[in-house]
């Protein structure tokens, strides 16, 4: 679709056209809608509107008035410039797998037509909703309101969400978004599902959290809102996925969470908590990665030798230690000279002392 932004299609004309359409409604319908979309008054809930009528009307009746009004203006809009908003809404829904949250779709419309961000987004939302080819989701606990095209499979939406939660619960850790999507497709045996559709589906559910558009986790995990210094250090290491110097961890906490922390305080937290492993001088990793071993270099060597039934060469020992600890080769060799614990059985071969 070519760019629609012209002198005749801007914020003021959208609002003006919208008000003209409202004049086709009954007095009660017009009043309810103006109050619901914050056109003349502050945006109000169904409950507030219900309580203000004499005699009172039910909340459901207010909702019915809204629905009836939207059906009326849907036909009128087709003969106005406002139909451009509906046309582009369907295009962007197609691009995103036929589904998008209300917020994302409205923001996409505002961006496409280069509208002022201060424009009443409820007007844009209502124009979209009045299109008979677009469906608005019903309120549901722990989900965001979304728009979708009727061709969508509601069953597939539910299945994708449940599979994502199942994968995250089993992993018990944050996961790269693309890796999660591939696992979903494999587990559902459906390679035809597009990543953009999965992305749109998971954005609907408040249980799912995205960070910097690359990582995914569950809302209930405390890593979502790390409060203690320990949680924040864990968060940074999970995000970076590599062992880090304690100074770098402190700097990342300040950079990512906009919170100034003392470097020495961070270091003390890393030292005193068993969740962190010192893998080299002042460099730490997470214990639950299962790669890096806690303890001294000698402890690591003893663990390696205990698991081996045969004596090991110096080269073998160094290679195995370096997989779990970031230390110099000379440090490993010097620990092999500890005659109280380690015995050299012949040239260049070592085992634990009997």
Residues 32 and 142 in one domain: yes
Instruction: Identify whether 283 is part of a domain.
Output: no
164-174: average pLDDT: 87
pLDDT band at 222 (very low <50, low <70, confident <90, very high): low
Among the residues of 143-228, which ranges form H helices?
154-171, 177-187, 195-204
Angle between helices 121-129 and 83-95 (to 10 degrees): 80
Q: Supply the pLDDT for residue 275.
A: 85
Model confidence at 45: pLDDT above 80 = no
Same domain, 264 and 183: no
- Picking from 210, 109, 105, 103, the residue whose alpha carbon sits closest to that of residue 149 is 105
Farthest-apart Cα atoms in the chain, separation: 100
| Domain membership flag for residue 260 | yes
Asked whether residue 243 falls in the same domain as residue 214, the answer is: no
Which residue pairs from 187-193 have beta carbons closer than 8 angstroms and sit at least 24 positions apart in sequence?
187/163, 188/159, 188/160, 188/163, 193/156, 193/160
pLDDT of residue 88: 95
**Pick from 322, 243, 323, 253: nearest CA to 284:** 243
The residue out of 201, 218, 235 marking a domain boundary is: 218
Q: At 316, which CATH number?
A: 1.10.10
pLDDT in tens, 182-197: 999 999 999 899 999 9
Please indicate, yes or no, if residue 58 is contained in any of the structural domains.
yes
Whether residue 57 lies inside any domain: the answer is yes
Residue-range definition of the domain harbouring residue 269: 226-274
In a domain? residue 184: yes
Say if residue 323 is in the same domain as residue 348: yes
Residue 5 lies in a domain: no
Cα three-residue angle 333-337-343, rounded to 5 degrees: 115
Query: Order of strands, edge to edge, in the sheet holding 349-352?
Result: 312-313, 349-352, 342-346
41 versus 311: the higher-pLDDT residue is 311
Residue 142 lies in a domain: yes
Which of 127, 148, 169 is the last residue before a domain boundary?
148
Please check the confidence at residue 277 and state whether its pLDDT lies above 80: yes
Q: What is the pLDDT of residues 234-259, one digit of tens each?
A: 888 887 888 899 999 998 888 877 77
Cα dihedral across residues 179, 158, 121, 71: positive or negative:
positive
| Same domain (yes/no): 71, 108 | yes
Residues 168 and 142 in one domain: no
Same domain (yes/no): 16, 144: yes
The total domain count for the chain is 4
Report pLDDT for 1: 47
Residue 207 class from Cβ within 10 Å (0-12 exposed, 13-18 middle, 19+ buried)? middle
| Residues 99-116: tens digit of each pLDDT | 999 999 999 999 999 888
Does 104 reside within a domain? yes
pLDDT at site 223:
53
User: What does the pLDDT read at residue 69?
Assistant: 77
pLDDT tens per residue, range 53-63: 767 777 777 77
- Which position has the higher pLDDT, 1 or 259? 259
> 10-19, 62-71, 216-225: lowest mean pLDDT where?
216-225
Between the alpha carbon of residue 115 and those of residues 39, 42, 64, the distances in Å are 17, 21, 31
Please report the pLDDT score of residue 40 as a whole number. 59
């Amino acid at each position: 679709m070519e760019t629609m932004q012209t002198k005749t299609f801007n914020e003021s004309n959208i609002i003006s056209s919208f008000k003209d359409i409202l004049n086709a409604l009954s007095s009660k319908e017009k009043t309810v809608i103006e109050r619901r979309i914050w056109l003349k008054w502050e945006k109000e809930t169904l409950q507030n509107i219900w309580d203000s009528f004499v005699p009172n009307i039910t909340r459901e009746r207010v909702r019915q008035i809204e629905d009836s009004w939207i059906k009326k203006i849907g036909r009128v809009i087709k003969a106005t410039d406002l139909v451009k908003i509906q046309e582009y809404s369907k295009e962007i829904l197609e691009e995103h797998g036929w589904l998008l949250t209300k917020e994302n779709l409205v923001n996409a419309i505002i961006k496409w037509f280069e509208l002022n961000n201060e424009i009443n987004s409820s007007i844009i939302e209502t124009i979209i909703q009045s299109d008979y080819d677009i469906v608005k989701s019903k309120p549901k606990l722990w989900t965001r309101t979304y728009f979708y095209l009727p061709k969508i499979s509601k069953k597939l939406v539910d299945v994708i969400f449940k599979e994502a939660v199942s994968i995250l619960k089993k992993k018990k850790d944050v996961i790269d978004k693309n890796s999660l999507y591939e696992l979903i497709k494999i587990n559902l045996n459906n390679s035809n599902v597009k990543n953009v559709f999965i992305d749109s589906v998971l954005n609907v559910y408040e249980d799912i959290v995205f960070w910097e558009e690359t990582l995914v986790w569950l809302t209930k995990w405390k890593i979502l809102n790390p409060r203690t210094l320990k949680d924040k250090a864990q968060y940074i290491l999970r995000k970076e996925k590599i062992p880090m110097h304690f100074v770098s961890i402190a700097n990342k906490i300040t950079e990512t969470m906009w919170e100034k922390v003392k470097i020495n305080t961070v270091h003390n937290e890393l030292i005193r908590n068993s969740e962190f492993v010192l893998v080299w001088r002042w460099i730490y990793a997470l214990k639950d990665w299962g790669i890096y071993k806690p303890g001294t270099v000698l402890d690591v060597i003893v663990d390696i030798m205990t698991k081996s039934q045969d004596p090991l060469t110096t080269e073998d020992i160094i290679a195995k230690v370096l997989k779990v600890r970031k230390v110099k080769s000379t440090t490993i060799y010097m620990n092999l000279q500890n005659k109280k614990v380690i015995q050299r059985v012949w040239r260049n071969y070592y085992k634990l002392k009997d």
